[in-house]
Structure 1
Amino acid sequence: MREEISKKKIINKISKIEKWATQLTIYAQQAVLYEAVLSPKPGLVDPVDSGAHRDMNIYTFMDSTCSLYQGFYQFAQKGLLWKDSLKKLFEKIRFIGIELEKKMLKETKNINTHKGIIFSMGIFLAATGFFLQRYLDVFIEFPIFEKEDSDEIFKIIKKMTRGLVAEDFKQIDKKDTLTHGEKLYFKYGFTGIRGEAEAGYPFIENQIMPRIRCQDKKESLQCRLLEILFLLMSNTEDSNVIHRGGVEALELVKKEAKNFLKTGGLAQENALKKIEKMNSLFVQKHISPGGSADLLIVSIFLGKLENIL
């Protein structure tokens, strides 16, 4: 009798892990899709135009997004099941991420649409899954997060990624071929998304999430998400922008975004015309704030967890 009860408990727990991993995956894919269809986004692909990208459009993003589901599920499931150190969890999900990148590139015919978000969302999904382990025997249904729960996710991420920058960039001066990220680190000392991850995504934790929590829920979701995007553009050390146009391009993006917000943001009467003008400028200069778009996606994911988006 006791053995049968024990088996049923194990089966129920496995079933709950599968359900919760699925829910995390749904939130992650929703976040990717929300960003894709958000418009207008200066320099970025949206349903209206392709911004500064000549090799992709909104349909490329739809194809790419469909390829991410299984990998996202694996990230979440790995976190929910993980019993070893958080550093080793990060090492494990990087292998999942490499395979997911291959699937994405196959689906998009070798166009890099979501490499950045595979990295960041992999971290957030695994960290969230790991955090949720403590509630598997507490809640029947998937829980709605509170601020304190989200704060714990950022703490877990810091532990997962401790020493990431030093490890990834060691002996960089001895390499014959460098990736885009390595080139930026070698030339500018720019740590990019690795540095952001190792710091625990502080701008999202300390600025973006507090802003999302206090936004007027009567405002359209489009306006609320665009506000967050411009906040990110005004502060993010975006490696996509630097790669395309150098530090000068990054300063331009920050300046344009800050001016837009300072003069009233989406509330000003000519907001859409200003965004269109900014888009034309970014397209002309071949600038795409893709790093900010990726951070918007993980912000939406957290907003979904807290049931505020």
Structure 2
Amino acid sequence: MSALATLPLHARAQDHHAADAIAQAAASALRGELDTYPKPGLVSPVDSGSHADMDVGTFRASARAIAPFFADLALAGAAGAPMPALRRIGLDAEAAMRAATGGVNTHRGAIFGLGLLCAAAGALPGAGAGALGRLVRKRYGEAILDGPVLLHAPGARVRRRHGVGGAPAEASAGFPTLYRVGLPALHRGRRLRPDAPDAARVETCLALIAHLEDTNLLHRGGPEGYTFARAAAAQFIAEGGVAQPDWRERAEGLHHAFVSRNLSPGGAADLLAMTLFVDGFEAP
């Protein structure tokens, strides 16, 4: 019997209400990421970026399919469930995703990273700044790195070949890039362009591309494409980011440059959604 099942009925009802709210926040974060444009190489309502096998409709169907599993992950976190229990829920979410998309991998990375944050949110209602990442690191960090590896998955192959930590290392450390790069960029973008909500998300996405060890970039572009993407994003930020009067045109130019090279920073897209989730959940 789970720890949740032993709680009084009124406590369990409160947990389910909180879990539903967490899942709604996670789904909102996924929509915020999807609706962002220009977003180099990535799917948006404007176009499909570097992807021939998916579009905005694919992502919307996927987000609807996986949303209930974020509530399950929040409940598991509230009950103190260990990493193997979270993995089982994640695998069910991935199966629902593939059923909704005809087998296309739209949100596998988000199920992993955002799912861990939902579990932490379930365990920490009213969390303060940095609390979700700390809980993920302390409760799940070791188990994340010790867990099963899908040897033939693109991300695993890239991590072995290029010696990068990728999403598992980022998660096990409590998402340091989210806290050190993503959130500051989001807040900076809001200060710079208070009249353009999408500007803060573009600033965040480009800042994350510049700093993240994104195995999606290595998989699609090799070291050359990976280096180009990070340098181009870093240059955009260094030259003022969305403070530039022509920031949107510059970001759109980067988008087309990524598409011409078949580059897609999927890891940064996942971390953008996770940044939006954490920003909405953690008290300042």
Normalising by structure 1, report the TM-score.
0.83
Deviation at 1:184, TM superposition (A): 1.5
* Cα drift, residue 251 of structure 1: 1.0
Give CA deviations for 1:9-66 in whole Å, capped at 9, x if unaligned. 9232111111100110110000001111111111000011110001111111111111
Distance 2:231 2:223 in 1: 12
Who is 1:77 aligned against? Answer: 75
For 1:179, the equivalent position in structure 2 comes to 153
Structure 2 residue 108 is the aligned partner of structure 1 residue 115 = yes
SS at match of 2:211: coil
Q: Give yes or no for the alignment of 1:205 onto 2:179.
A: yes
Give me the whole-angstrom Cα distance separating, in 1, the residues matched to 2:144 and 2:163: 14
Q: What amino acid sits opposite 2:10 in the alignment?
A: N
Are 1:90 and 1:123, in contact at CA under 8 Å, matched by a contact in 2?
Answer: no
Name the counterpart of 2:129. Answer: 150
AA aligned opposite 2:135 = I
The DSSP-based 3-state class of the residue aligned with 1:208 is helix
Matches within 5 A, 1:278-297: 278-297=254-273
> Shift in Å at residue 220 of structure 1?
2.1
In the TM superposition, residue 68 of structure 1 has moved relative to its aligned partner by 1.1
Distance 1:260 1:128 in 2: 33
Higher mean alpha-carbon deviation, 65-74 vs 198-207, is at: 198-207
- Residue range with higher mean Cα deviation, 117-126 or 260-269: 260-269
State whether structure 2 residue 66 is matched by structure 1 residue 68. Answer: yes
CA contact (8 A) 1:38 1:222 kept: yes
Q: Is the 8 A contact 1:51 1:283 kept in 2?
A: yes
Cα distance, 1:199 vs. partner? 1.2
Question: Is residue 67–residue 104 contact of structure 1 (8 Å, CA) maintained in 2?
Answer: yes
Aligned residue in 2 for 1:138: none
The 5 Å alignment of 1:84-99 reads 89-99=82-92
Q: Is the Cα contact below 8 Å between 2:185 and 2:207 reproduced in 1?
A: no
2-structure distance, mates of 1:123, 1:210 = 21
- 8 A contact 2:73–2:89 mirrored in 1: yes
Shift of 1:187: 1.2
Q: How does 1:1-309 map to 2 (within 5 A)?
A: 10-82=8-80, 89-132=82-125, 143=126, 145=127, 149-159=128-138, 160-162=140-142, 164-168=144-148, 178-213=152-187, 215-216=190-191, 218-306=194-282
CA distance in 2, matches of 1:35, 1:111: 18
The unaligned stretches of length 5 or more in structure 2 are 1-6
In the TM superposition, residue 210 of structure 1 has moved relative to its aligned partner by: 3.8
Letter in 1 for 2:101: T
Aligned length: 275
Q: Is the 8 A contact 2:131 2:282 kept in 1?
A: no
Report the Cα offset of residue 182 of structure 1: 2.3
Superposed displacement of residue 267, structure 1: 2.2
User: Do 2:42 and 2:266's aligned partners in 1 also have CA atoms closer than 8 Å?
Assistant: yes
- Output the CA distance in 2 between the equivalents of 1:276 and 1:209: 22
Whole-angstrom distance in 1 between the partners of 2:77 and 2:204 = 28
Alignment partners' CA distance in 2, 1:275 and 1:213: 18
TM-score (ref. length: structure 2): 0.90
Further displaced range: 209-218 or 260-269: 209-218
Asked which structure has the greater CA Rg, the reply is 1
1:151-191 deviation digits (Å, cap 9, x = unpaired): 2221111121215335546xx9xxxx622122112212222
Residues 47-92 of structure 1, C-alpha deviations (whole Å, 9 max, x = no match) = 111100011111111111110111111011111122xxxxx62221
- Kindly report the root-mean-square deviation, in angstroms, between the aligned alpha carbons of the 2 structures: 2.0
Q: State the partner residue of 2:3.
A: none
